[in-house]
Chain A
Amino acid sequence: KNQVEQSPQSLIILEGKNCTLQCNYTVSPFSNLRWYKQDTGRGPVSLTIMTFSENTKSNGRYTATLDADTKQSSLHITASQLSDSASYICVVSAVVGSGGGADGLTFGKGTHLIIQP
Chain B
Amino acid sequence: NAGVTQTPKFQVLKTGQSMTLQCAQDMNHEYMSWYRQDPGMGLRLIHYSVGAGITDQGEVPNGYNVSRSTTEDFPLRLLSAAPSQTSVYFCASSQGQPYNSPLHFGNGTRLTVT
* Contact of B113 with A by CB under 8 A: no
* Contact of B106 with A by CB under 8 A: yes
Residues of A within 8 A of B (CB-CB), count: 28
What A residues does B42 contact at CB under 8 A?
Answer: 4, 89, 106-110
Minimum CB–CB distance from B83 to chain A (whole Å) comes to 22
* Contact of B43 with A by CB under 8 A: yes
Minimum CB–CB distance from B25 to chain A (whole Å) comes to 12
Contact A105 B98 (CB under 8 A): yes
Q: How large is the interface on B (under 10, 10 to 19, 20 to 34, 35 or more residues)?
A: 20 to 34
* Contact of B74 with A by CB under 8 A: no
Contact A102 B48 (CB under 8 A): yes
Overall SS of chain B's interface: loop
**Chain A: CB-nearest residue to B106:** A43
Minimum CB–CB distance from B58 to chain A (whole Å) comes to 5
Minimum CB–CB distance from B33 to chain A (whole Å) comes to 6
- With known contacts A32-B99, A45-B105, A102-B56, A89–B45 Cβ distance under 8 A: no
Contact B99 A109 (CB under 8 A): no
What B residues does A94 contact at CB under 8 A?
Answer: 99
* Contact of B108 with A by CB under 8 A: yes
Contact B100 A101 (CB under 8 A): no
Select one of A36, A43, A103, A110 contacting B4, CB under 8 A: A43
Select one of A93, A103, A109 contacting B33, CB under 8 A: A103
Minimum CB–CB distance from A15 to chain B (whole Å) comes to 26
What B residues does A45 contact at CB under 8 A?
Answer: 105
Contact A102 B58 (CB under 8 A): yes
What A residues does B98 contact at CB under 8 A?
Answer: 93, 103-105
Select one of A36, A105, A107 contacting B99, CB under 8 A: A105
5 pairs from A and B in contact (CB 8 Å cutoff): A43-B106, A45-B105, A103-B48, A104-B97, A105-B99
Shortest Cβ-Cβ A-B pairs, 3 listed: A43-B105, A107-B42, A104-B99
Which residues of A pack against B, CB within 8 Å? 4, 31-32, 34, 36, 41-46, 49, 89, 93-96, 100-110
Which residues of B pack against A, CB within 8 Å? 4, 33, 40-45, 48, 56-59, 90, 92, 97-100, 102-103, 105-108
